[in-house]
Amino acid sequence: MTEITPFSERVRLSLRETLLDAAAELLAQHGFAGLRMVDVATSAGVSRQTVYNEFGSKAALVDAVVLRTLSEFLDGTEALWRATTAVADSLRATVEYTVRHGRENRLVAAVLGGAQAEDLLPLLTTRAEPVFRHSIDQVSHHLTERIPALPPERAALLAESIVRLSISHMLLPGGTPGEAADAVCSVVLPAIEAHS
CA-CA distance, 135 to 108, in Å (whole number)? 16
Ranges 36-50, 108-122, 152-166: which has the least confidence? 108-122
Task: Report pLDDT for 174.
Answer: 79
Query: What fold is seen in the domain 7-193?
Result: Tetracycline Repressor; domain 2 (1.10.357)
DSSP structure class, residue 147: -
Q: Where are the domains of the chain?
A: 7-193
CA-CA distance, 94 to 163, in Å (whole number)? 10
Q: pLDDT per residue over 52-63, tens digit each?
A: 999 999 989 988
Entry pTM = 0.78
* All residues at 6 or more sequence positions from 24 whose CB lies less than 8 Å from its CB, including other chains: 65, 68, 69, 106, 107
Q: Please name which of 126, 94, 125, 123 lies closest in space to residue 110, comparing C-alpha atoms.
A: 123
Region 151-162: mean pLDDT is 94
Number of C-alpha atoms within 13 angstroms, CB side, residue 139?
30
Tell whether the model's pLDDT for residue 1 goes beyond 90: no
Q: Which residue did the predictor score with more confidence, 196 or 171?
A: 171
User: Which amino acid is present at 144?
Assistant: T
Tell whether the model's pLDDT for residue 117 goes beyond 60: no
* All residues at 6 or more sequence positions from 86 whose CB lies less than 8 Å from its CB, including other chains: none
Q: Please name which of 12, 6, 24, 26 lies closest in space to residue 54, comparing C-alpha atoms.
A: 12
Tell whether the model's pLDDT for residue 22 goes beyond 80: yes
Mean of per-residue pLDDT scores for the chain: 85
Q: pLDDT per residue over 70-103, tens digit each?
A: 888 899 999 999 999 999 999 999 999 999 988 8
Give the chain's end-to-end CA distance (angstroms, integer): 40
Task: Report pLDDT for 102.
Answer: 84
Answer whether 77's CB lies under 8 Å from 99's CB: no
* All residues at 6 or more sequence positions from 62 whose CB lies less than 8 Å from its CB, including other chains: 23, 27, 32, 35, 123
